[in-house]
Amino acid sequence: MKFGKFKSTKGLNRTFNRIRELGIESNITELNTYGFTVVSPEKVADKEFFDRIRETVLRLCSERTGVEFSVEKNGDFGKYKAQPQSEGQFLLFYLLMADRVFEEWILNPTLYTIIDYLMGGQQQLSSLTSFVKWKGKRDSLGLHSDSPPDRDGHLPACSDVANATYCLTDYTLENGAIAMVPGSHRYCRQPRPGEGEEQAIPVEAEAGSLIAWHGNTWHGAFPKNTDGLRLNVTSYHCHRRLKTQEAYQWRVSQEMLDRNPPEFARLVAADDHMGWDEGGPDYARSLRYLPEDAKKRLAAARKSKAREAAAAG
């Protein structure tokens, strides 16, 4: 029995086959069962890429704070003001627009495929940030789901958003690992204040790993009790029916679009006609960056429509 070519699952076959090629089937099972997974470094990126992206994040920390950063030293807010900030933590925002290494990152096959699977191919990049963390007290694990809830806290069963963090330092309990409540993606609601803290486990992972989770999974972070930094690149995606956190759609340059494949354009909403002005929607945007299989389906549909019209006379 051969899986991966069924006619009725045309939109899914490519993702299914990529999952197999990358050897990440067990990660998909973990995502479905527990709501999160850890992909080991050798299935994510090579050492050269890891070093390059980590150096870039450290350089941006130094530039934005005005203070020299290294992974061995505790951080410092310096002149950096972007909120939210808490004891021993700030976030670096809008990384995609800061260096080309992040363009490479959002197209990383392992990251892209996992998000593509969770979001059914309808993902846009919502934000690309780095949580920069050093020694600091926390009152709670801060458990939450990343999906925006209804007024009553309910969430849809599907992954309306999906998140993945590229660990740029080791994640251990003492080091302030992410906390996850295994299986909580099935509750389809946000946790109430304090709820789930006892079931939360530390997600321990070596530097270079990718931790990915379903948008409903309850998660937070353990306090960082050790010296030095805990660093990541948090790659947050949302379904194209939602608003993105960071503004890419009308701000990415044509140069960025030209030097990347169509997947990049779709991630940054260059194919999205929503958000128009007095000129009205530009539907051609959607066609410009269609995936090959969708282009073929569209051409076939047009052909059959033309045939019907000819037959009707």
Ligand X SMILES: O=C(O)CCC(=O)C(=O)O
- What angle (nearest 5°) sits at the alpha carbon of residue 159, between those of residues 15 and 257? 55
For residue 133 the two structure tokens come to 């963390």
Q: What is the 3-state secondary structure (H, E, C) of 106-150?
A: HCCHHHHHHHHHHHCCCEEEEEEEEEEECCECCCCCCCECCCCCC
CA 27 – CA 231 distance, rounded (Å): 23
Q: Which is nearer to ligand X, 36 or 289 (by Cβ)?
A: 36
Is residue 146 a contact residue for Fe ion (CB under 5 A)?
yes
Q: Is position 221 an interface residue for ligand X (rule: CB under 6 A)?
A: yes
Cβ 90 to ligand X, closest distance in Å? 11
- Closest separation in Å from C-beta 163 to ligand X: 5
- Applying CB under 5 A, the span of 138-146, 164-172, 184-192, 279-287 interacting with Fe ion comes to 138-146
Is the Cβ of residue 161 or residue 270 nearer to Fe ion in the bound state?
Answer: 161
Q: Is 234 in the site for ligand X (CB under 6 A)?
A: yes
Helix (H/G/I), strand (E/B), else coil: 189: strand
Restricting to residues 8-37, which ones interact with ligand X according to CB under 6 A?
none
Residues 131-190 that bind ligand X (CB under 6 A): 131, 146, 163, 165, 178
Do 176 and 209 form a contact (C-beta atoms < 8 A)? no
φ and ψ at residue 132, rounded to 5 degrees: -105, 115
* Least separation in angstroms between CB 153 and ligand X: 17
Residue 160 touches Fe ion, criterion: CB under 5 A: no
Q: Which residues contact 217 (CB under 8 A, 6 or more apart)?
A: 35, 36, 145, 146, 180, 181, 184, 185
Q: Binders of ligand X: how many residues, by CB under 6 A? A: 8
Min CB(183)–ligand X separation in Å: 18
Q: Is the Cβ of residue 84 or residue 280 nearer to Fe ion in the bound state? A: 84
Q: What is the DSSP letter of 175?
A: B
* For helices 10-22 and 25-34, angle between their N-to-C axes, nearest 10 degrees: 110
Q: From the list ligand X, Fe ion, none, pick the one residue 221 interacts with, judged by a Cβ distance below 5 to 8 Å according to partner type.
A: ligand X
The one of Fe ion, ligand X, none whose footprint includes residue 28, by CB under 5 to 8 A per kind, is none
CB of 127 to Fe ion, least distance (A): 11
Query: Which residue is it, tokens 């203070």?
Result: 67
Q: Which residues here bind Fe ion, judged by CB under 5 A?
A: 146
Q: Which residues here bind ligand X, judged by CB under 6 A?
A: 131, 146, 163, 165, 178, 219, 221, 234
